[in-house]
């Protein structure tokens, strides 16, 4: 993993994805603009689960805390562009943000970038490859097999309560 601020080049990432990968604002808005409005969110799964140790560290929560896991595909131009996995702890979904439990096909990014109570604490770039479980999830949805995928991971807070968003770009990259 690399720090977002360093903007390290990713070998094999097509030029068209470098901009979205480094997008500091709403990826949803950026993708809509780039695909000419032909954009949809397809929910793959929403389920309650417990945090794994690494996820708990990133969210600064106790291990095994219950979270809502939301997995979606962002489609544009008739193909899946991004696999996104969001971890929403129970405490984050209390109070005025309880409606996030029923977000459906509405983009989470829209809420995160239009709500004053939401802010991004950090974002980092990812290179996802086997045996990372995120690689298997991305590979299931990508139209082209790749030796690795690029993505980014962001920690947001809503009223100072955390949520973690991971976005894996399903564009072709070179293996290696």
- For residue 106, the enclosing domain spans 2-169
Name, in order, each residue with C-beta under 8 angstroms of 11's C-beta and a sequence gap of 6 or more: 174, 176
How does pLDDT run across 119-174, given as a tens digit for each residue? 999 999 898 999 998 999 999 988 777 888 889 999 999 999 999 999 999 864 32
What's the CATH code of the domain at 102? Answer: 3.40.1410.10
Task: Tell me whether residue 175 is in a domain.
Answer: no
Task: Tell me whether residue 174 is in a domain.
Answer: no
pLDDT band at 6, cuts 50/70/90?
very low
Task: Tell me whether residue 176 is in a domain.
Answer: no
Q: Where are the beta strands (DSSP E) in the chain?
A: 2-3, 39-50, 66-76, 79-89, 118-128, 149-158, 161-169
Q: What pTM value is reported for the model?
A: 0.85
Q: Which range has the worst mean pLDDT, 12-16, 19-23, 30-34, 40-44?
A: 12-16
Contact between 80 and 38 under an 8 Å Cβ cutoff? The reply is no
CA atoms within 13 A on the CB side of 63: 3
Sheet holding 66-76, edge to edge: 2-3, 118-128, 149-158, 161-169, 79-89, 66-76, 39-50
User: How many domains does one find in the chain?
Assistant: 1
Task: Tell me whether residue 9 is in a domain.
Answer: yes
Q: How confident is the prediction for the chain on average, in pLDDT?
A: 83
> Residues for the chain: how many in total?
176
């Amino acid at each position: 993993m690399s720090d977002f601020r360093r903007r390290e080049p990713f070998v094999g990432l097509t030029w068209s994805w470098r901009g979205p990968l480094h997008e500091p604002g709403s990826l949803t808005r950026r993708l809509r603009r780039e695909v000419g409005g032909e954009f949809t969110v397809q929910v793959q799964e929403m389920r309650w689960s417990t945090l794994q140790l690494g996820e708990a560290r990133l969210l600064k929560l106790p291990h095994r805390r219950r979270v809502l896991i939301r997995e979606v595909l962002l489609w544009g131009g008739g193909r899946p562009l991004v696999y996104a996995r969001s971890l929403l702890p129970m405490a984050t979904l209390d109070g005025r943000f309880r409606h996030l439990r029923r977000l459906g096909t509405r983009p989470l990014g829209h809420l995160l970038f239009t709500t004053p109570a939401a802010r991004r604490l950090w974002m980092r770039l990812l290179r996802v490859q086997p045996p990372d479980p995120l690689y298997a999830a991305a590979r299931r949805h990508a139209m082209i097999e790749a030796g690795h995928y690029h993505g980014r991971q962001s920690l947001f807070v809503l009223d100072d309560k955390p949520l973690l968003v991971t976005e894996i770009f399903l564009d072709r990259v070179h293996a290696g």
